[in-house]
Structure 1
Amino acid sequence: MAEFPGAEAAEADADYAIVGAPLDVSTTFHPGARFGPDRVRRFARPFDGYDRRTDQHFSELVTDAGDVTAWDDVPAYLEFLKTQLADNRDDGRVPLLLGGEHTVSVAGVRAADPDVYVCLDAHLDLYEAYAGNELSHATVTRHALETADRAVLLGARTGSEAEWNRANEADVTVVPPEDVPSWSPSFDDERVYLSVDIDAADPGFAPGTGTPAPFGLEPRELRDVVRAVAPSAVGFDVVEVNDRDDGQAAALAGKLLQEFVFTHADAE
């Protein structure tokens, strides 16, 4: 496995650790999320490691801890993944989780223990169970709310009637795609976990994902959200990239990961 380009900091010196989680068991349309971590690393090869806006060097900040190999016992895998992420956090590194299907975010949230779950996503992911599976990629927000006090879903544009009814409750805020450019966070001292499901982007920009949904966000809109939320974040992931395009989804995911690191480091 190749490491994320520029993730050259020694483990003991790094402030951030990339952790791949190639889980791919509950995808309901286009499978292939298992290839996401390697694909994001591959299509990040052309990226420069210096960010002029923040005067930060990626190579001084990030190490790549490799992948946590997935297996089909999802509850056990998520618990093991949570432990690996928490170990990095205990050693002073913010985990940067690369999916894999969105279910891996459950481990990320549990390890980070945030007050607020913020997610860029086309879908509400508020099912209690999907196709009989309580740990489906379509249940992630509901599981996140077992840890976080509230959820903010940015770019969501599709869901079942039951999900929309759940989203009307006080602990969920939904910001539709057309309102995302004018949205600004208000977290005070709350700890935030930021999850990016790449299908938040319009599939014209990121077709390589499991359940693409038209009328989504443009890449700059995702970038602006990542920049706005990163200073308050205690954890980050980007998920649902697969191998069914020419690298558009993977390149966007890798760039958003870089933007998170540069902005978060600049705010420290």
Structure 2
Amino acid sequence: MFPGANADVDDAAYVVVGAPLDVSTSFQPGARFGPDRVRRFARGFEDYDHHTDQSFVSLDVADAGDVHAWDAAEEYLDFLEAELRDVVRDDAVPLLVGGEHTVTAAGVAAVDPDVLVVLDAHLDLREELDGNPWSHATVTRHALETVDEAVVLGARAGSDAEWERANEADVTVVPPEDVSEWTPDFDGDAYLSVDIDAADPGFAPGTGTPEPFGLTPREMRRVVRDVAPRAAGFDVVEVNDGDDGQAPVLAAKLLRAFVFAHASSR
């Protein structure tokens, strides 16, 4: 259980759902261990948040456990979407913990927001990778089938075709050097996705496809706090077991930052 997520699922305002999908990782596997590691490395946090003057345990957060993953990604995503729709129908905010970034497609489909805001080192706009149309590198393209706009913060890698796709009107890319100046400027509800590889690998080496020259944890936290009041769903993904806890502790802290900022705005 995520520490402090003591509410009953049926009465919760926020529901943590683990999605340990790990079938398309193209470099360093291990994302299946992400949900467990994020929960484990959250154990050392204080319950109280001075920034918002709130206690995490008082915010009606529940942990619904993991949705067991299998190899057929498209079928799994359909099942995961149905589970997350149940959370949304109960008027709760889903807090999805991956797993590879592909799981965001299920979160977006369940929440049906206007905008996807994603912290990511990669554009993830491919139509396929190695013949797989449901690769983790395709998730933003899949999300654009649901949302009106995708805002990718911290992107610094992508194929030539992806950069060309990113030039279209429904995609905004903010490079790492400009993220500190970015503020939300969109209409409607958002879904916020945090790929932990948005962080410079010096801060979070435990991820599938680390990419240098990334964001600082403080920059990522500011984005999470700024977007949270306008978000109807959240996920943090791509944490694996390849470090001593740097990636999962950052992921867990950003999840909590989202809940504190969202609850404070309600």
Structure 1 length normalisation: TM-score?
0.98
2-structure distance, mates of 1:78, 1:195: 16
Equivalent residue of 1:123, what SS? coil
Q: Aligned match of 1:194 in 192, 195, 209?
A: 192
Matched, 1:101 2:97: no
User: Are the aligned partners of 1:99 and 1:240 in contact in 2 as well (CA < 8 Å)?
Assistant: yes
Equivalent residue of 1:69, what SS? coil
User: Are the aligned partners of 1:198 and 1:239 in contact in 2 as well (CA < 8 Å)?
Assistant: yes
Q: Aligned match of 2:49 in 40, 51, 58?
A: 51
* One-letter code aligned to 1:81: L
- Give the C-alpha shift of residue 187 in structure 1: 2.4
Matched, 1:141 2:158: no
2-structure distance, mates of 1:82, 1:66: 15
- Give the C-alpha shift of residue 267 in structure 1: 0.6
Aligned to 2:18: 20
2-structure distance, mates of 1:31, 1:238: 16
Structure 2 length normalisation: TM-score?
0.98
User: Are the aligned partners of 1:82 and 1:107 in contact in 2 as well (CA < 8 Å)?
Assistant: yes
Equivalent residue of 2:178, what SS? helix
* One-letter code aligned to 2:92: R
- Give the C-alpha shift of residue 255 in structure 1: 0.1
- Give the C-alpha shift of residue 55 in structure 1: 2.0
Q: Aligned match of 2:7 in 9, 34, 55?
A: 9
Q: Deviations over 1:9-66 (max 9, x none)?
A: 2223320000000000000000000000000000000011221221222112211000
Aligned to 2:68: 69
Q: Deviations over 1:86-145 (max 9, x none)?
A: 101111211100000000000000001011010000000000111100000000000000
Unaligned segments of structure 2, at least 5 residues: none
Farther off after superposition, 12-21 or 159-168: 12-21
- Paired residues for 1:1-268 under 5 Å: 3-60=1-58, 61-188=60-187, 190-268=188-266
**How many residues end up aligned between the 2 structures?**
265
2-structure distance, mates of 1:52, 1:206: 24
2-structure distance, mates of 1:83, 1:75: 13
1-structure distance, mates of 2:54, 2:262: 10
Consecutive aligned runs of 4 or more in structure 1 exceeding 3 Å deviation: none
Equivalent residue of 1:174, what SS? strand
Equivalent residue of 2:248, what SS? helix
* One-letter code aligned to 1:50: Y
User: Are the aligned partners of 1:187 and 1:232 in contact in 2 as well (CA < 8 Å)?
Assistant: no
2-structure distance, mates of 1:92, 1:8: 17
What do you get for the CA RMSD once the two structures are aligned? 0.7
* One-letter code aligned to 1:82: E
Unaligned segments of structure 1, at least 5 residues: none
Over the matched positions of the two proteins, sequence identity in percent amounts to 71
Equivalent residue of 1:103, what SS? helix
1-structure distance, mates of 2:94, 2:54: 18
Equivalent residue of 1:110, what SS? helix
